[in-house]
Structure 1
Amino acid sequence: MKSQRATSRVLCKSLPFFAIIAAGAPITALAQTTDVPPSGPGAEQEGQEIVVTGFRRSLQAANAHKRDADIVSDGISAEDIGKFPDQNLAESLQRITGVQITRSRGEGSSVSIRGLSPEFSRVQFNGRTLGSGGGRSFDFTSLSAEFVSSVEVQKSPTADMIEGGLSGTVNISTPKALQIGKTRFNGTVEGVYEENAKKLSPRLSGLFNYVNPSETFGFNVGVAYEQRKYLQVQYQGYGAETGVESTRTPPIDYNRDGDFNDTYTFNHAQAYQAYPGTRTRFSIISNAQLKPKDNIELSLDYFHSDFKESNLWYENATRFTNIAPAIPGQPYGVTASTIDTSLAPQLLNGSAGFLTSVSATGLDHRASTFSQNSRKIINSGSLSGKITDDHMEVTGQASYSKATTNGLNNGFATISRATGTITHPDGIGAPPKVEYGGGYNPLDPSTFYLLTQDFFGGSNADELWEGRLDATYSFDDGVLKSLKGGLYFADRTNSAYDVRSSLNATQLNALSGGKLQLFPGWEGASGAVSARDILKPVSFGKSIPYYPSSYLVTDLDAYYGLISPAAIAAAAPPQVVRGSGFDVTERTMAAYVQAAFRGAQDRLSGNVGIRFVNTQTISSGLVPNLNGIIIEPGGVFTTIPDAAQASVKGDYHYFLPSMNVKYELSRDLVLRAAAARVLGRPGLGQLSAGTTVDANVRRINSGNPSLKPYLSDQLDLSLEYYLPKQGLLTAALFYKHLTNYIVNGQVAETRTVQLRGGGTQTLEFRRNQPVNFASADIKGAEVAAQIPLSYLGDALDGFGLFGSFTYLDAPKVPLFQGGPSATLDGVSKINYNAGAYFEKSGFGLRGSYTYRSSYSNGSGIFGDGDVTPAYGQLDASISYQITKAVSVNADVSNLLNAVQKTQNGFGLLDTYNLIGRRITAGVHVSF
């Protein structure tokens, strides 16, 4: 009986086929002959030789790990070195049951597991934590998939796993020299074509692996370079702002009733934007392994990533919130408006309704260009060792990781005063329509004036030391299979700060030698300079409703022809914003014991254990005097005076028990159950002791060093039915009881601010501070299927279907303390993927569709909620194995050119985003 089960596992251990195919794997056929004992209905006789393709071999490797594991997990294995399914790991992972992703510039950037925020998904690289340069969630755009050999999503924890993965742990593995086992080279040359940008960019990678003849020493080095030139075109709203008419500057009579006492809600701004940009990623991996004796192994591992992004941000914007004369005494004001009072119960702060249209003179109209540049560098290394002696195995690892992120943006507050009308002909859930009248020409540069040039950006450094020591003693017989214990230590320091500087009109006039003509009375005391000579029209012609055929933006070449960059840098070097950012040190010590057991003739197996975790934090920051806020009228730059240094300590400790049980009901039917308490730490920025201010959107943000960690008491139950020919049916139920859930504590504050050009202004701010407030229960179900159609006859050999479906039931919690409720951030009720494939004679074709229903992104800028509506995307791939050493492939991402949107809590459109299709094609060689 025991040997029959062991042989049947080779074929039947099966990760869901959809998780590999749908991930976009090049479907090749590196033919290999492998003796695979068959099992299941209609299986061939034992000992018959079966030809297994390289792709099927990769399935079997991942599937074997899934079935043998004592925990609830899924994973993806690369078909070969340099042949992971997607160029982006997040896009591969979204096809695994219960995994969702968020996108940046149309590219997968972060991973959610079973609906919880990406901050709760712990990502580790070859067993160690990688810093991400900003938060706890890992940014997958920094990580090339070229050298990833496997990815495992661990959904139920064990005591020996590093804590922090409240929703699950993503474990990324790269090839080890002695695991590859021979000297070889793999290389890939591809081109990446972006449909919107109509640009072709290179993607190159190569890995050399050396193993000595005695197979006691080996090393490898891999290098990958990728460039991506994109064009993102979108409409963006800035959120539903609620305000009293009298608090506008100057006051605005929105409903034209003769007084300024009414409170209304309106879209803070509506903007049509385009982002032409370039991303480049350079990666290095390296591994050296030494095995001086059969029972001793040493491994040295290194990873480097250098990710750069630069883009221009062209914007044509209008603002409800700023209706004023360009010069005092000129006419301004609302001439007509419509107000939807039916939305009043959903609005905040006693609003009487939402302004769905406004006709006005003196309407704020912007013609802006921003240049944005950022760079993220990650360096990580580890030294690990393993010693085995009879029944004892001792492993240890020491690692270091540092991630730094730096960014600097350069923007222009270029404004005109228009006569125009803003309407929502297709409803507030669609882009608005902006029309101009009264003789105003939006393409006339002589009507625009430059108020300020602003620089804003920031820096983050995330440094982490980790060490762990584990010892396992195995037993030959009896119920106790092994006893394991270990220690873990981590020391993490994460610091961030913002930088800003600004040049006003008087300075710009002086630096240009008078070429930028100064108008002292325009837009208040600070004045403005004429933008007539520094604007240009742009046109993108994309199919966003009411997107203007052309509009004016700042011409950077013309501008820097009048003022040299060196002169600007000398006059306005970026300065650290007082009170911005945070500095958090977090030290963790953990110890655990874990026992693995077996029974019922090895049909029953599992583990039970307990982990003790102690964490100490030190949060430092600057607390500013908010009575001295200085703003630039009409601009986006906020200055706060010198601040006092604050430092706050925190300390918490918890016991985290866990149990995982697996029972083989038959050789093809596996039942799993798991129970655990899991810990998730607050975001690093949430632990800040400092305070930041943004007068443009009336917001004050403070951290809370006293936050407690999230806790989840969770249960898992799953059933897996393994079919021959890599077929699989699975079903799972899970439950999480969350406590210490963090929401924003939010209060309104009225502050009198200083205007940089003179005078004061009274503004109402919304102050936010995270607090432990809520508890929540998340319940869910998962089903998945992988069905090779050869079951139906030989004519369908090579065809297959795959799919998965996840349902999540999560309660609503307050967007902020005392505010309206929304479903937990990141929770999509419905998630599924479905697709089909064909693989035969070296030819492969597949298509896959992934869908995620709407989910909340938080409270939004003005507390109006931020929601991402349902989104689905179709991807396709085709490949052919020319020879054993050479294959070609082509992949299309977002085949149907799907639109990505966000909206606020009552349906007002925030963003309508077109990123376009991305086509990748190339050749892979191996020798």
Structure 2
Amino acid sequence: MKHTESGTSESQAKHRLVLKSGVAVLAAAGLLSTFPVMAQEAPATPAADVPEQATVTVTGVRRAAQTAQKIKKDADNVIDSIVADDIGKFPDTNVAETLARVTGVQVRRDGGEANTVLIRGLPGIATLLNGREMFTTTGRYTKLADVPSTMLQRVDVYKSQSADLPEGGIAGVIDVRTNRPFDFKGFTAVVNGGATNNSLAKRTDPNVSGMISNRWKTDIGEFGALVGVSYLRNHYTEERVFNTKPIDKSWLLPKLTGPDLVGLESIKGDRRRSSANYALQWKPNSDVELYAEGLTSHYLNNFETDFFVGLPWWGPGDQMSATKIPGTDQLQTLNSHNVNTIMSTQANRASTVTQQHAIGGRWNAAPGLRLSSEIARTLSDYDWQNPILDTITNVPNATVNTNVGGSSYVAYGGMNLNDPTKYTLSQLFDRYGHDQGSSTDWRADGTYTIPDEGVFKDFGFGVRAAKRTAASIKSFEGSVPAPAGILASSLPGMNCTAQMQNNWGTTAWYTPCASYLISNTADVRKAVTGSSSAKAIDPGSFFSNEEKNYALYGKAHLGWETAGIPFDGTVGMRVTKTDSNLLGNSQNNGAYVLTSKTSSDTAYLPSANFKASLRDDVIARFSLTKTLTRPDFAQLNPGTAYINPNGTTVLATASGGNPELKPFTARNYDASLEYYFSSTGMASFALFRHEFKGYIMNKVVKETFNGVTFDTTRPFNTDDGYLQGAEVSYRTFFDKLPGWLGGFGVEANATFTQGETSTSSNPDLSGKPFAGMSKWSYNVVGLYEKYGVSARLAYNWRSKFTDVYNDGGPGLDLIASPMSSLDGSLGYKINENTSITLTGANLLNFKHTDYWNSRALYPRDTRKYDRSVGLFLNWKI
């Protein structure tokens, strides 16, 4: 629901003034977020708490900091914002990358960019677009990695809930804001063009965007129109060397354990992000405004993973020799001869199209009474193909070392590994699927401001009704073996070579061409199975859900003074009811039976957010809220998808949902102290605690199907849990330094988190920290802006975390090592309309590693990513 302003008349006026003069100017950088010049040209707006004679010219980075700081200071909730110029000065390719620099936000990177986003260590996030719910296909939230940064005006991260915010974000709410034409004084046009080069991919790709906006005064009121487009392409490369989990190998040496596979992965991809947005506004008079706006985004990712699957044990035992890591029974080195070896290509084509359109209006219906209403339609589709083809050969010599400084080493030789005539077809995994989601969402909101000066300042109220659908289906899992003796070279156009730039032993090998697997899948099926028909759809993977949600809320804004200290706050209640009808296929005596399950739940979510102005520049906050997150639709699926074992590279595994899952809730406490010592300088300290009921986690259980025992992963509700921690942040600009030194500034923030769950149904997970949560994370940013030069250098770091519990077997947890990234930008303002910017990402060439319990004994992956350099020209009128 629409977030409404509240506060005294004076504070509201100040708030509107700042947003009008600050955000409206910055908004030009919203769709073209790498356009620093637009914010730099804004006139200075002295902050209310800074004497006129002490002010400095506020442009560019300072304007962005001032606007974000003002949003945080005036907000009723605990909130952090990052506005357009902040985003534009970094080489971000998506919103997830942008959020990595927000206090308390942790991200996970794969394929050289951020994707998974956590707030204070938790994944339960509600995502909004201009205040309304946004999602991707069957998910509860939109994949922020799919959203280009170039579409943004700003991003708000709500860490405490209020009654007017949609429920669903137990960790917080992320609201992505775009532009409207009334944000600008008149005609505005922006073009941003450039290119980025990735070091491992050795490709240079375009990144272009544009926006045009105007407003007109007519006899029937004022009109505004805006349209923007964005296109980004990104060829990327990631290289990995890996071990699999330790298993018993005592048949070679007494008490010996070691990985079954030691291999290499070459990952190459081509990401394309395109988006378009529009906004129309009509203000027939000073009391009425109508609008229509929409966004369409398309994320296409064509990528491949070329595996060198080293099977050093898959040869004559009398031709092997091994050593152990000193003082242990774990394998160090293995030399083998005449080893059967698999080369596997996983081809992927993933396409996501998401669009949202909304119409609405605002009306000052009477003195003090403001009403608004809006209806929105969201559609999202995800199509994917993932054919996997394995080929096999016999390699004369193989040498592996499971741990060389935390990485493994895989050296195979004695033959030309690039010769396709040495390989025969082994097996085909024919995988594909489709997800879709839609919603129709109506809401109406109102605020009544009380004219009398009393404790109650205004009342807010609203209703919401939404209908949401989600459906998913995919093919059967598992492989189909190829007839013996079919040469890989017999399929023309399928012969490619995988190249590794990092020397982890073997640097090149033959691999099936991913483009051929995607474009000529029928020919590959024919060669392997004798039929060009696609693998059948798996009824066990199917689910379809229709969900109807109704909500109403009321909140009151209060203000009073005690002992000379002004207090301000909101208290409210949100009541939400959800009726759900789930369809899926369950197993009954080996047959699939369509199963329907209906459910209904009603939740009461109180919230209270208070702040005390201890001084004009010091604010203390406290909030107490209750939040709720519903299970993902896939987690409710009663069906099960099975992967049958093939005796070599595939184990008997399965995954399914749990239709008995319940929504989980949290009682949240937040307290902070904020010191605003200038319009662009602040320091803050915050404490938080979440207390959970029914947090959802996964567990692996043994289930038998068709006489085969499968390790089956299913979600379940835990009992109780908590997460607590602290945040500290600081920002300043050294304006009082003489000359060119006055252009420097610094930002820094750090977060500490600690938490665990308890569960009687899976006691080995009780008392353990949340998977994916780092205990520590921090950001340090150096800033410079003066004489037309604008520069940033940002370092992001998070401590190690447990990725998967019991991943390598009971008691063997998969742990990710600390992660870091150094990114930067350097810009120069050529004239009033033009600037040029040089960007860099992963400047320290970060190396990702993970391991089971001990990196010295059981390393798993070592990964290297691209280092990126971009050059952009920015122009506007």
TM above 0.5, yes or no, is yes
Aligned counterpart in structure 2 of residue 719 of structure 1, from 653, 670, 673 = 673
Change (3 A) 1:85 1:871: closer
The aligned residue for residue 369 of structure 1 is 345
Counterparts of 1:441-840 in structure 2, within 5 Å, are 442=417, 445-476=420-451, 477-499=453-475, 527-531=484-488, 538=497, 540-543=499-502, 546-555=504-513, 564=523, 571-600=532-561, 603-624=566-587, 643-695=592-644, 696-724=650-678, 726-749=680-703, 764-791=709-736, 793=738, 796-811=741-756, 817-819=762-764, 822-840=768-786
Look up the equivalent residue of 1:365 and give its one-letter code.
Answer: T
The aligned residue for residue 5 of structure 2 is none
Whole-Å Cα distance in 1 between the matches of residues 144 and 760 of structure 2? 27
Contact 2:695 2:719 in 1 (8 A): yes
The aligned residue for residue 132 of structure 1 is 136
Aligned counterpart in structure 2 of residue 273 of structure 1, from 258, 265, 290 = 265
Whole-Å Cα distance in 1 between the matches of residues 589 and 246 of structure 2? 22
Look up the equivalent residue of 1:211 and give its one-letter code.
Answer: R
The aligned residue for residue 171 of structure 1 is 175
Whole-Å Cα distance in 1 between the matches of residues 472 and 863 of structure 2? 29
Change (3 A) 1:334 1:159: farther
Higher relative contact order (CA 8 A, sep 6+): 1
The DSSP-based 3-state class of the residue aligned with 1:138 is coil
- Identical-pair percentage: 24
Whole-Å Cα distance in 2 between the matches of residues 136 and 423 of structure 1? 44
Change (3 A) 1:708 1:268: farther
Contact 2:691 2:721 in 1 (8 A): yes
Quick check: 1:295 aligned with 2:287? yes
The aligned residue for residue 74 of structure 2 is 68
Change (3 A) 1:8 1:745: closer
Q: Deviations over 1:492-536 (max 9, x none)?
A: 211111125999677xxxxxxxxxxxxxxxxxxx53423355685
Contact 2:376 2:440 in 1 (8 A): yes
Contact 2:40 2:63 in 1 (8 A): no
The aligned residue for residue 301 of structure 2 is 309
The aligned residue for residue 232 of structure 2 is 226
Aligned counterpart in structure 1 of residue 379 of structure 2, from 402, 406, 423 = 402
Aligned counterpart in structure 2 of residue 254 of structure 1, from 251, 254, 264 = 251
The aligned residue for residue 194 of structure 1 is 198
Look up the equivalent residue of 1:663 and give its one-letter code.
Answer: A
Contact 1:662 1:673 in 2 (8 A): yes
Change (3 A) 1:805 1:501: closer
Change (3 A) 1:183 1:567: farther
Contact 1:445 1:533 in 2 (8 A): no
Look up the equivalent residue of 1:887 and give its one-letter code.
Answer: S
Contact 2:266 2:500 in 1 (8 A): no
The DSSP-based 3-state class of the residue aligned with 1:462 is strand
Change (3 A) 1:159 1:831: same
Shift of 1:682: 1.7
Look up the equivalent residue of 1:655 and give its one-letter code.
Answer: Y
Shift of 1:738: 1.4
Shift of 1:369: 2.4
Whole-Å Cα distance in 2 between the matches of residues 265 and 403 of structure 1? 47
The aligned residue for residue 510 of structure 1 is none
Quick check: 1:917 aligned with 2:870? no
Change (3 A) 1:304 1:38: closer
Whole-Å Cα distance in 1 between the matches of residues 433 and 614 of structure 2? 56
Q: Deviations over 1:552-591 (max 9, x none)?
A: 2125789999995796797222431231143222222111
Contact 2:280 2:293 in 1 (8 A): yes
Contact 1:26 1:844 in 2 (8 A): no
Contact 1:742 1:774 in 2 (8 A): no
Whole-Å Cα distance in 2 between the matches of residues 444 and 749 of structure 1? 43
Structure 1 stretch 5-14 or stretch 586-595: which is displaced more?
5-14
Whole-Å Cα distance in 1 between the matches of residues 758 and 800 of structure 2? 16
Shift of 1:84: 8.4
Change (3 A) 1:746 1:312: closer
Whole-Å Cα distance in 1 between the matches of residues 651 and 279 of structure 2? 49
Contact 1:319 1:364 in 2 (8 A): yes
The DSSP-based 3-state class of the residue aligned with 1:469 is strand
The DSSP-based 3-state class of the residue aligned with 2:668 is strand
The DSSP-based 3-state class of the residue aligned with 2:140 is coil
Structure 1 stretch 668-677 or stretch 291-300: which is displaced more?
291-300
Shift of 1:85: 7.5
The DSSP-based 3-state class of the residue aligned with 1:575 is coil
Whole-Å Cα distance in 2 between the matches of residues 626 and 334 of structure 1? 48
Change (3 A) 1:219 1:362: same
Shift of 1:739: 1.6
Counterparts of 1:109-148 in structure 2, within 5 Å, are 109-117=115-123, 120-148=124-152
Q: Deviations over 1:59-101 (max 9, x none)?
A: 3332222211111101012139988873422222111110111
Change (3 A) 1:498 1:528: farther
Change (3 A) 1:177 1:644: same
Shift of 1:459: 1.2
Change (3 A) 1:563 1:740: closer
Whole-Å Cα distance in 1 between the matches of residues 378 and 33 of structure 2? 30
Whole-Å Cα distance in 2 between the matches of residues 501 and 166 of structure 1? 33
Quick check: 1:899 aligned with 2:857? no
The DSSP-based 3-state class of the residue aligned with 1:64 is helix
Q: Deviations over 1:581-608 (max 9, x none)?
A: 4322222211111111011288211100
Whole-Å Cα distance in 2 between the matches of residues 121 and 434 of structure 1? 41
The DSSP-based 3-state class of the residue aligned with 2:40 is coil
Contact 1:466 1:490 in 2 (8 A): yes
Please tell me the root mean square deviation across aligned C-alpha atoms, in Å.
3.6
Quick check: 1:156 aligned with 2:160? yes
Whole-Å Cα distance in 2 between the matches of residues 465 and 910 of structure 1? 45
Normalising by the residue count of structure 1, what TM-score does the alignment of the two structures yield?
0.83
The DSSP-based 3-state class of the residue aligned with 1:797 is helix
The DSSP-based 3-state class of the residue aligned with 1:706 is coil
Look up the equivalent residue of 2:596 and give its one-letter code.
Answer: S
Shift of 1:436: 4.8
Contact 1:216 1:291 in 2 (8 A): yes
Whole-Å Cα distance in 2 between the matches of residues 765 and 163 of structure 1? 37
Structure 1 stretch 361-370 or stretch 606-615: which is displaced more?
361-370
Contact 1:697 1:861 in 2 (8 A): no
Look up the equivalent residue of 1:924 and give its one-letter code.
Answer: N
Shift of 1:870: 0.6
